[in-house]
Amino acid sequence: MPRPRDQAARRKLLLDAAVQVINDRGPARMQMKDVADMAGMATGSVYYYYDNVDELLRHVHAMAFDRYYTARKDAVAALADPRDKLRTMVDKGLPRPQDEPLSLALYQVEVAKARDPRHADMITRLCGEQTRLYQQILDEGTAAGCFRPTLATGSIAANLISLEDGYGLALATGNHDYDYAQARHLVLEAAAGWTQCPELLTGPQPSPDGAASPASAR
């Protein structure tokens, strides 16, 4: 098969198609032909990039890792104030409408592959890296006098990840009790209580595209 001109774009097309198939049929019923049909490609073309369904599922997981860890790490690295960093973590940790398909697919893959050691290692790494990133920010804010934690910073970090997961699942599955703004406020409210930092609730709001708006004067 001739090598495509833009392999990265083809891979992204196939992974986006896999996300849609997972959400339409479930990961247990997904076949390579389903992904090919969704992407408008021949089944053989899918095999050029991915050996089997399980490899596709692992790459969908990797997409989620990039979205919920790597992108957040990059975003907070550009900020100086620990309060802005923690707020940005929450802003980018909850799924926006454009993120919901990927989040829903990830939740389904986690359940379907719960007893697969490779997938278990991947979700453990994702949760662990996010928790450590939160804890680094909490420790930095504590040292700077911005936060006065009522719990160990590792406990706060783990609790924040659990809240994100819970509200994220509600958002991705269409629970009408919450929207993004409400879920964001609830997570920040918990963070403000655990850090004794009410400024977390009065900072800049995220823009519709998910980027933080310019910091307000303090």
Gap between the Cα atoms of 136 and 148, Å rounded: 14
Helices (H), 99-179: 100-112, 117-144, 153-172
Which residue, among 60, 16, 14, has the nearest Cα to 33 in the 3D structure?
Answer: 14
pLDDT 10s digits, 43-89: 999 999 999 999 999 999 999 999 999 999 999 999 999 999 999 99
Paired strand residues for 212: 206
Q: d(Cα 147, Cα 192) in Å, to the nearest integer?
A: 9
Q: What 3-state DSSP class applies to 68?
A: helix
For the ranges 2-6, 105-109, 214-218, which has the lowest average pLDDT? 214-218
Across the chain, mean pLDDT equals 91
Chain-centroid distance, C-alpha 187: 15
**CATH 1.10.357.10-classified regions of the chain:** 57-201
In CATH terms, 1-51 corresponds, of 3.40.50.1820, 1.10.10.60, 3.90.550.10, 3.40.50.720, to 1.10.10.60
In the chain, list all ranges with CATH 1.10.10.60.
1-51
Which pTM does this prediction carry? 0.87
Q: Helix, strand, or coil here: 6?
A: coil
> 57-201: what fold?
Tetracycline Repressor; domain 2 (1.10.357)
pLDDT at 216 over 50: no
Write the pLDDT tens digit of every residue in 163-192.
999 999 999 998 889 899 999 999 999 999
**217: pLDDT confidence band, cut at 50, 70 and 90?**
very low
Provide the phi-psi class of 208: left if phi over 0, else alpha when psi is between -120 and 50, else beta. alpha
| Closest CA relative to residue 13, chosen from 52, 53, 54, 41 | 41
Confidence of residue 215 (pLDDT cuts 50, 70, 90): very low
Tell which wins on pLDDT, 113 or 206.
113
